[in-house]
Structure 1
Amino acid sequence: MAQHATRLGRANGAGGAVSGVVLLLPGSSRLAPGPVHRLTRALSRAGTAEGLVTHVVRYGRTEAGGGALTEAAEWGAAEALRRYGDVPICLAGYGDGALAALRAAGHEGVNSALALAPCVPEGEFGNSPEPVKQLSGRRVLIVHGTNDSRTDPELSFHLAARAKKANRNTCRFEVHSDGHGLREHRAEVVALAVDFVLGSVFTGRYSRPVTDALAAPPPLGLRMPLASGFGRALRG
């Protein structure tokens, strides 16, 4: 069972009272962590004053995609509630970890889900689409590179379109010319993710692009281009 092999990595961020938690779910391939490590550092810097703590969910050797990662995400949410009490939890994942974040978002402690380059199964286009009811009442952001050769970005668009019908607080950004690892525009992707997490967990306020994406009807708010220099614009 996943819950026996999973553990939370060391706590990063808040040194005092914890007011919010981010659980980071890497892809199952340790050779391709994507932006998770950089996002962990950025969240620790940006959220410490607010009482944010982050943990990377460490999978056991037997866990690889599918239901096992979803169980790991659910276990992590339950463990965060046990450790920190009734504080908002954001599940933030990459690759198949991103899909697990979306699937596990229905856990009672979770208030938001961030999915970076989610590995949505091909069944999304057929008779076995991904569930979306668990996303009701959550803040949801999906980010996908338009040149992703590992998982078709149109699959995440289709999922987001169905999720938007059940939950208006859903948006999706497209990173033009970037691939599955989101390397070409990593600074912008991380800045967008930090903006979304802090707004979802604490303030309820977002940058103008995220606010516009959440408010826009489909398909506009689900094909929002991530502007070059996004993080620099916020700092300015």
Structure 2
Amino acid sequence: MSNEPTPVLRTGRRMSDPALVVLVLGGGKDVSRARSRSWHLAGLRMWPFTWMLRRAGRARGISVQQLQYRFRGWNAPERTAVEDARWALNRIRAEHPDVHVVVVGHSMGGRTAAALIDDPSIVGVVALAPWWPEGAEADAFGPGRKLLVMHGTADRWTDPRTSLRATERAVERGATARYLSVSGGHFMLRNPRLWSRATRDFVLGIAADAQVDCMGKQS
């Protein structure tokens, strides 16, 4: 039996035909080949967002799925977190070929989400205190893509100024992008309702737009 770790996609309640799928990504480390575990804080930190979005989106047909990476690190040049997230997108697409996806990621998860924007399934990204050390992670956002970036003013782990500049460049490239500055630090412990409410409103807004588009095509 192989000891090679595999990613885990926690899908929650199954939906036969969801209107939208939300993929939730936790944070991590720059370099680490240690296995991700369900009790690590990087993943636990995102479960309140997953549960909140499931409650808010259940009646709207929104499926919210949280990914547990194989490893705790970003691990360039392979970028194992991105490999795992693409695996999750392939799983989602295999089950629901035409569904649109919103990715919600914190810290390293925000970097991973930005790296996925070339995937045609993705219509929106929520980057929570994203780790964007190169400052160019959001440069692939363009017309038809929606982006919400939230960052704590007192963040000492990742740089809010880099996030702001990246958001501004995304706007210049034609993306629908918004930057929201929040009092507090990296781990979203202050003003948790603001982090939660802005994420919820962004996701529900995309779901509503998708429903309008669908109705327009049917009429």
Instruction: Pick the TM interval, shorter chain.
Output: 0.7 to 0.9
* In structure 1, distance between residues paired with 2:143 and 2:81: 21
Partner of 1:17: 17
TM-score by length of 2: 0.81
8 Å contact kept, 2:70–2:84: no
Q: How far is 1:45 from its partner?
A: 0.6
What are the superposed Cα offsets for residues 123-165 of structure 1, whole Å, 9 maximum, x if unpaired? 32xxxx3351245421110010000010111011111111111
> In 2, distance between residues paired with 1:96 and 1:181?
12
Corresponding residue to 1:164 among 168, 171, 174 = 171
| Count of paired positions | 193
Percentage of identical aligned residues: 26
Q: 1:168 to 1:32 in 2, by over 3 A?
A: closer
**C-alpha distance 12-141 of structure 1, shift in aligned 2 (>3 A):** same
What is the distance in 2 between the residues matched to 1:188 and 1:53? 22
Greater helix fraction, Structure 1 or Structure 2: 1
Note the C-alpha offset of 1:167. Answer: 2.4
CA gap of 1:48–1:34, structure 2 versus 1, over 3 A, is same
Contact 1:23 1:56 in 2 (8 A): yes
Structure 1 stretch displaced more, 161-170 or 107-116 = 161-170
Aligned to 2:111: 99
| 1:76 is aligned to 2:88 | yes
Other-structure match for 1:211: none
Cα gap change, 1:192/1:13 in structure 2, threshold over 3 Å: closer, same or farther? farther
| Amino acid paired to 1:184 | R
**Residue 187 (structure 1) aligned to one of 193, 209, 212:** 193
Matched residues in 2 for 1:74 and 1:137: separation? 20
Q: Distance in 1 between matches of 2:94 and 2:143?
A: 23
Q: Are 2:144 and 1:137 equivalent residues in the alignment?
A: yes
Unaligned runs of 5+ in 2: 30-39, 211-219
Summarize the Cα distance change of 1:100–1:5 in structure 2 as closer, same or farther, 3 Å threshold.
Answer: same
Structure 2 match to 1:8: 9
RMSD: 2.0
